[in-house]
Amino acid sequence: YSFLFSLFFFSAAAEEGNKVLGGKPCLPNSQPWQAALFSGFRLICGGTLIHPSWVVSAAHCRKSSEGFGFNSIFPVRLGEHHLRRIDWSEQLKLSSKAIVHPEFNRRTLNNDIMMIKLLTPATLNDKVKVLDLSTNCPEPGTKCLISGWGTTSSPQTKYPDVLQCANITIINHNVCQSIYPDYINENMVCAGKMEGGTDSCQGDSGGPLVCNGKLQGIVSWGPYICAQPNKPGVYVNVCKYTNWIQETIQNN
C-alpha cells in the first residue's frame, strides 16, 4: 500500500491490486473501456481505454510494477470480464511507454495520473470501446459507476475473478475537504456512499469512475479499511487533466 503521512490511507493499487466493495458482477462486456494492467501474470491495476492507442490509469500504479519492466513493455488486457476464462473477446496488448504526470507527488498522491501508450492500437468493437473524457467537473450528488477486480472485502482481502461494478455518488468538495483536511485539492474528487458499504478498494486503482457516460475520475486513494461510513474514496478529477491528456496523445 501507499500511505499518506500518519493517516491510514491506501493508494488503491498497492501490491495486491484493488477491488470494488458492495458491488456485484458487471454484466459481461458492459464496461468495454475497462483495461486490466499486469506485471507478468499479476494484475496490478485497472485502467480506461480513451483512445485506440492509449489507456489512462493512476500514476501510483507504476510503483506496483517496478522490477517487472514497466518502463519497457508490459501487458494490458482489454475486453476482459473473467480473469481466468478465455472467451475470445479479450485483446492482449503490450505497451510502448508509460507517461506519468510531471507533477505527480507520490507522498500526497496529487496529480495521480498516467498515460500508457499501446504498442499496437486496440481493435474497437462491441466489446472493446473507448470512453470519452468528461470536460465538465462533477456536480455533488451525481450518480456514477465504478468497476474493477479489486478486493471485495476489507481489511481482509478477497479478489474476484469477475469484473465488479457498483453505483456511488459524487460527494460535495467542501465535505470531502472536511473529512480529509489538508489532503484534498481541486485535482481530486470524492465519491462513495456516506452511509458506507460501497467503495473502490485495493486492486481497483487506476480504474474508471464513470458519470453520465463519460470518464469523470480515476481510482486513486482512500482509507486503509474501505467502505467505512463518512470515508468516501478519492479519485483523480479528470476534468482538470483533459488538456494534459490531449497534449500527451498529440506529442507522442
Which residues are identified as catalytic?
Answer: 60, 112, 205
Of the CA atoms within 13 Å of residue 89, those in its CB half-sphere come to 20
Cell 486513494 belongs to which residue?
221
- Asked whether the beta carbons of 27 and 170 are under 8 A apart, the reply is no
What share of residues in the chain are helix, strand, coil (percent, to 5)? 10, 35, 55
- Asked whether the beta carbons of 245 and 85 are under 8 A apart, the reply is no
**Nearest-angstrom CA–CA distance, 1 and 10:** 6
The conformation of residue 250, written as its DSSP 8-state character, comes to H
Amino acid identity, position 190: C
DSSP 119-154: SS----SSSS---PBP-SPPPTT-EEEEEES--SSS
The conformation of residue 156, written as its DSSP 8-state character, comes to S
- Asked whether the beta carbons of 146 and 168 are under 8 A apart, the reply is yes
3-state secondary structure of 107: coil
